[in-house]
């Protein structure tokens, strides 16, 4: 069970790291929505922060599958 706890912690940290990097570079990558007359936002809004969650989720799922933690014990 300790392996899964470390895997979860690593995926949370990786998610935070990638999301913060994407948000930091959002303007350079043109991932910022500027407000216009039809939008409800007042300030420019960065997009793409969810990429960190996807990047961290894939290795976590692969690690759980490799460990066999989600597999039921059928005798």
Whether the per-residue pLDDT at 55 is higher than 80: the answer is yes
Residue 43: both structure tokens together:
């300030």
Full-model pTM: 0.65
Looking at residue 3, its pLDDT comes to 75
Instruction: Name every residue whose Cβ is closer than 8 Å to that of residue 53 and which is 6 or more positions away in sequence.
Output: 15, 19
Whether the per-residue pLDDT at 17 is higher than 70: the answer is yes
6 in any annotated domain: yes
Looking at residue 61, its pLDDT comes to 84
Confidence of residue 45 (pLDDT cuts 50, 70, 90): confident
75 in any annotated domain: no
CB 19 within 8 A of CB 26: no
24 in any annotated domain: yes
22 in any annotated domain: yes
Whether the per-residue pLDDT at 43 is higher than 70: the answer is yes
Instruction: Name every residue whose Cβ is closer than 8 Å to that of residue 64 and which is 6 or more positions away in sequence.
Output: 4, 7, 70
CB 18 within 8 A of CB 48: no
């Amino acid at each position: 069970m300790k392996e899964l706890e470390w895997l979860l912690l690593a995926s949370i940290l990786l998610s935070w790291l990638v999301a913060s990097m994407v948000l930091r570079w959002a303007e350079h990558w043109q991932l910022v929505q500027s407000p216009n007359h039809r939008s409800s936002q007042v300030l420019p809004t960065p997009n793409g922060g969810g990429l960190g969650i996807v990047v961290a989720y894939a290795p976590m799922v692969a690690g759980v599958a490799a460990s066999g933690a989600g597999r039921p014990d059928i005798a």
